[in-house]
Structure 1
């Protein structure tokens, strides 16, 4: 081995050679499990392997091809295109003439656009290609429905800390790994935790740490691992799951949960302006009129993020999130607005009553526009007696809660209903 012929990375050297060597995915591999049954039948159909990085998607695809004796063509959707797919199908055609089946492995399949994915359809449909696609993104969003319907989706899970630790022990004992290198148990425990289920990252870090210290120490692991950034795909399911967790923690008035999920997003590299916009939405949706100041404070936090950027503006977001979590909650306006939209979308389109119409011209006034309108400041009593909805329409869209500021105005709301002649009807509904 020379400087110009370096060894393969540790993760590549330790790639499992048989299905039995695979660590993790016990829900798919083992007695009576889905992949085991498929291999036993000898009928391997197209698959979509969905899971986080470093859990063995590529390894599993290679092993499956070997188990069924198929020719394996690996492509990466990051660099491949329709031309590469054509070449793969031409190769598969030649091999089929010799009785050889072909598995096309397409890594990062979500990087293929709709047209590129559609180019695979006829070959998968005809059975010329058995497609195994690998993706870290939710196939429901990133893989065309037509392609999904022709492939079985299998969900791979992040490795547990125990499974990562098992891989690390194997790396230190396997002749293909790091024979002769030792590591302190606490160093391996630290790495198993930091890796967050990513076997590739765990093995790569161990290889670097082994060049820094022997035996490998926790300090060497920390240096080799670098800055710990929480895993987060900025445009994928993980990102929206974090937003969901933040929103639900705020709604549930759990301050620590709200701060934790916010920190996960910021440290994961989320667009702080996007997070700020979502925080403003939380103020309108879940705090509402229980604390009208919440929306104003969140707008100020958004302006601060825009003005200062990150990390200086992050503190303003944290302040807003804590305020929202502590604030009384009301979704009455959110519900009322949804009710209003439903009433408009599902109801008949009725004309605006004449007395509520705008009358800027003499001709309009001659036609009765604005006639009979009771101006509140001139005729409060008449103002309450007139109708404010289309003829024959009765609605009960808004209902204040007993939270915060809204509880204080609930009495006025009831008096207004009575003044409009709606109190009795609402009481019957309640």
Structure 2
């Protein structure tokens, strides 16, 4: 096993010393097959020994360029110094008391910081949880309690989690929902603005009117507690709705007393070049769900929102044994400090410019790239049969597999499985990003 340590001092290079996966990873994969439930998948069975900056080093000594960030989690890197130091200090002090039993300052400070960072200057409060799905589920609980209504509105291509309620809210059947029903009821789905797949070009306002019409007819505005929407779709394919779609929906919610919930679990915390993706159109949500990038790899999630809504729930109605664990809170404070110190919003915008330029040039030579989209360092290419919008999942998979073999970790997504998505750490060095794009081009032109 490699003896290299992780962190930003790890050599920032792509280096292949064995095939991928190598012999040690294959040995571990055999152990995994005997011990780990087969329902838990992995994109690439390469076992990591160290990570930092923009690379993952496996147990065979291969150094891979990371364009996944643990699905948008390690935005500040896999072991950012400020995260490591704060976590170490907290672990030495205490690892757990349960905030609902004996509280501690870290939880309070994280809530204070998230209230400052989320959009809007109204009074806000927050509650901390463990995962994105848990945050979404609690946002729905809060909205129901605050409004006295039960209906939940979501959109096509949405992904909100793997709990029973959030599976009902998620659009894609395989692999998230198949065989796991019946699901929670009173969930109503409306069409999303998906510019690349609109049969006729429509504005964001027109797309919102279409969604509103469906919800008013099928659910009734007065029955809806909340509308939960990702400002940039995540698993659904990194779809950015047409301008005007989100503001029109937010205004409709305001008019009808419907809680507008921005699911910023994948798009928040500097990922799109703003603290939260809804800021790009000036949308101020009632509630925001936060997870993934908030704590540098430690499990932490939050619901942040209007103080009167958050306080509508009776005492003891929110919480959980591990929610807002002190070590995770320390990590979050370290991650937020790193984002501010390094201006990772600006870094995300620089990454977008570099990747858009290179991918646009590649699309001229490789017409299967039907659309390049996203915001900041949350970018994707939708792969189609050239000259059409017909999804080509096989080519998307071949692109991703070719990158893996050459030492670049990529992910696919999308309702049709035909989207190659890119989520590099926001601290990735420029030369590594350029090399990763070289590899993507090499693979594409070799197909």
- TM-score under structure 2 length normalisation: 0.20
Q: Specify which structure has the bigger relative contact order, considering alpha-carbon pairs within 8 angstroms and separated by 6 or more residues.
A: 2
Q: Which has the higher strand share?
A: 2
